[in-house]
Amino acid sequence: MTLAVDVTVHTIRRLPLTGGSMLPRLDLDDHRPGLIDLIGSTIRDRGWWLLVGGVIGAVIGAFTSAGVVAAALLGAAAGFAVGMVRSQMIGLSLGPYRPDHVETPEVIGETLRVLEYNVHGGMGGPGKFLATPRTLDHLAATIRAAEADIVLLQELDDFALRSTMTDTLGQLVKRLHPTGAVMTPAAEKVYGRREGTGVLTFSGITISDARGLRISDAFGDKTSRRFRSAAAMWSGIVSGWFGRRARVFAASTEYQPRAATDAVICTPTGNRIRVLSGHFSSPHDGVDEPARQVAPILDTVPTWVGPTILGADFNVRDGSAEFDREHEMCTDVGLSEATAGAPPNSDRIYASAHFDAMRPQKLPPLNGEPPASDHSPVVVELRLR
């Protein structure tokens, strides 16, 4: 199955999902984490079990003949095993009950400003790595200046080496003080890194329900596939440090599952709106990724008959054949491009017929400064009839 539902979402403790309006049930399998996912989530979320186990083992070793180092290592291993068991128990959670059908929500006229933005892990512009307080401040300032009510985000990092182990969502919440925040990961790395999509809301808008729609890698999600991809990537990086271009498993492509955040937001006026924030791949290695990734997400749109907004980094340029097909697929489920007329971009916003789109823009960097990401944000005003 290309698409699966992930009920395990990343929220900020002071901004939990509010409950109430729920997403409709989808006839899809639940996501089941693999071994690498479980190891990664254990290291990230329960690494203290290793520390506790190591300390206990060292204390036991100091008073026995086992030896401090050996006992500490054994204790750390035991702590890791306990964390793994807890991760697996949480990973098998079925999540909240969702109805088979959702009643058509009443629509009250209002105008919402929507921002779509791939934030590159908060690391800055093209080719930049490592998130710092300065790059995160700059990113937050860029989002703040757009004065959006709904922000759809991609490349939110959490515990990633490339972005200094930063929780991008948490850092944006700290700086922007939204009224709702959620992230859904696309995949776990073996050391705990996760990257995903998300939603921020402002102006009193809250998030009542959310889930991840996970799209599997084009060449599978087995541990052997992921190992070959990681080995190919890191061997290329390391050999490059020595001026060489050697790679093991050279024919292995990058392991790149994708995801969309699926959420219900509630405005202070009482409107309930489904919003989706996606990140998709361009065609590669003979794989028609727009059809494999975008189409399954769009197939879920008709399950909600109320106002709907979809924003994504489609990784497809305006005017291409894939762009035309994207438009056709969206039209088939009642969505039209709200950012049509803005300068060409791979980031676009679509909306249901409940909305009139006004003033679409591709936002330039603030005050002539370098860009805050390797993507330009796009914004549009959507008026609910």
Q: What pTM value is reported for the model?
A: 0.90
pLDDT at 19 over 60: yes
Chain region(s) in the chain for CATH 3.60.10.10:
3-31+102-218+256-384
Please report the pLDDT score of residue 91 as a whole number: 45
Q: Is the dihedral of CA 214, 344, 291, 351 positive or negative?
A: positive
Residue 76: pLDDT band by 50, 70, 90 thresholds? very low
Query: What is 3-31+102-218+256-384's CATH number?
Result: 3.60.10.10
Mean pLDDT of 22-31: 94
Of 86, 155, 92, 81, the C-alpha closest to 124 is 155
Residue 90: pLDDT band by 50, 70, 90 thresholds? very low
Residue type at position 22: M
Per-residue pLDDT of 121-158, as tens digits, reads 999 999 999 999 999 999 999 999 999 999 999 999 99
pLDDT at 276 over 50: yes
Structure tokens at 317: 């340029």
Please report the pLDDT score of residue 246 as a whole number: 78
pLDDT at 12 over 90: yes
pLDDT at 159 over 70: yes
Among 14-28, 32-46, 125-139, the least confident range: 32-46
Mean pLDDT of 334-357: 97
pLDDT at 348 over 60: yes
Give me the phi and psi of 137, to 5 degrees please. -60, -45
Per-residue pLDDT of 91-105, as tens digits, reads 445 567 787 777 777
